[in-house]
Amino acid sequence: MFGNAEPIDSIRTRDHVLYGSVDRECTGIVTCIWPSAKIIRAAQTLGANLIVSHEALFWNHGDRQGWLAFNKTFQAKKAVLDEWGGAVWRDHDFIHSKVPIDTDGAMVDGIFYGLAWKLGWLDCRVGDMSNPMDFEIPETSAEELARYLIERLGLRGTRIVGDPGARVRRVHIPLHLIGPNDDSETRYVDEYDVDCLLCMETTDFTTCEYIRDAAQLGQGKAAITIGHFNMEEPGMEYMAHWISQALGTDEIPCTFLPQEDPYHYVIA
């Protein structure tokens, strides 16, 4: 790890070669949020034989493959990988552990630094881009902010919980709003006068219920659900900009490939 980066457990880390062999000359690198079949085929077209992905290859925590041996989609994806013939390496814990890419080489979470860069919010940061992640942005409404996120992140749409007309300055990115630890996020919104949450994933109870009640009680709160991959993908886009510096050479081509918004919206 670098300098003051957070430690990575060498036994439990998710950062492994997930497929293929790295014992060959690298002909090109592709960075992506998730190595889908589309990304693998695009890497083959580019002549790149290394994919650096943030998320797992085979749809589960730890990327276990034994239980999938007779799964038809697993077999089809393996065939695509074998035809390509390259290697997939997962960079999850390392890039989240803080990397020296901020001003003067300061340590930041590379994924959320990339998000701030993509949104044009590097000068709006509050704190050190770790958890919690907060921004003070020029005042806007929650609906206007949602439209800005759609434009900047290339989304097909998004969802707002709470008051679309809420006046937003203080924006907070919680981690995973999936139930067990959501009380801390509810307390944080209240204590730090957060106007709007930008969420990776949410459940409809806990913090989302709180945001709705706060809005109905005239407190001007909103939450915008972006999606996990949509939120973190800009970090892998930014990675393509600094990977040559990390390698000490620009002779190996490095290309970011977007997965694109996974959600399709059917409007009533």
| Pick from 38-42, 73-77, 97-101: least confident | 97-101
Does the pLDDT at position 4 exceed 60? no
pLDDT in tens, 43-58: 999 999 999 999 999 9
Q: Is residue 104 part of a domain?
A: no
Q: Is residue 169 part of a domain?
A: yes
* Pair (181, 246) in one structural domain: no
The C-alpha angle 165, 170, 172, rounded to 5 degrees, equals 100
- What integer pLDDT is reported at residue 7 of this predicted model? 73
Q: Copy the structure tokens of residue 47.
A: 């002549």
* Pair (151, 188) in one structural domain: yes
Q: Is residue 211 part of a domain?
A: yes
* Pair (92, 25) in one structural domain: yes
* Pair (211, 142) in one structural domain: yes
* Pair (217, 237) in one structural domain: no
- What integer pLDDT is reported at residue 78 of this predicted model? 97
* Pair (147, 204) in one structural domain: yes
Does the pLDDT at position 1 exceed 50? no
Confidence of residue 9 (pLDDT cuts 50, 70, 90): confident
180 vs 55 pLDDT, higher one: 55
Does the pLDDT at position 75 exceed 80? yes
String of b and e for 73-105 (b: at least 16 CB within 10 Å)? eeeebbebbeebebbbbbbbbbbbbbbbbbeee
Q: Copy the structure tokens of residue 225.
A: 């659900």
Q: Is residue 120 part of a domain?
A: no
Give residue 89's domain range.
Answer: 17-97+231-256
Mean pLDDT over each residue of the chain, to the nearest integer: 93
- What integer pLDDT is reported at residue 176 of this predicted model? 87
* Pair (74, 144) in one structural domain: no
pLDDT in tens, 87-134: 999 999 999 998 999 988 888 999 999 999 999 999 999 976 666 699
Q: Report the 10 Å Cβ neighbour count for 203.
A: 13
- What integer pLDDT is reported at residue 129 of this predicted model? 65
Its pTM surpasses 0.75: yes
* Pair (156, 83) in one structural domain: no
Q: Is residue 135 part of a domain?
A: yes
CB 233 within 8 A of CB 262: no
Domain count across the chain: 2
CATH number of the CATH domain containing 249: 3.40.1390.30
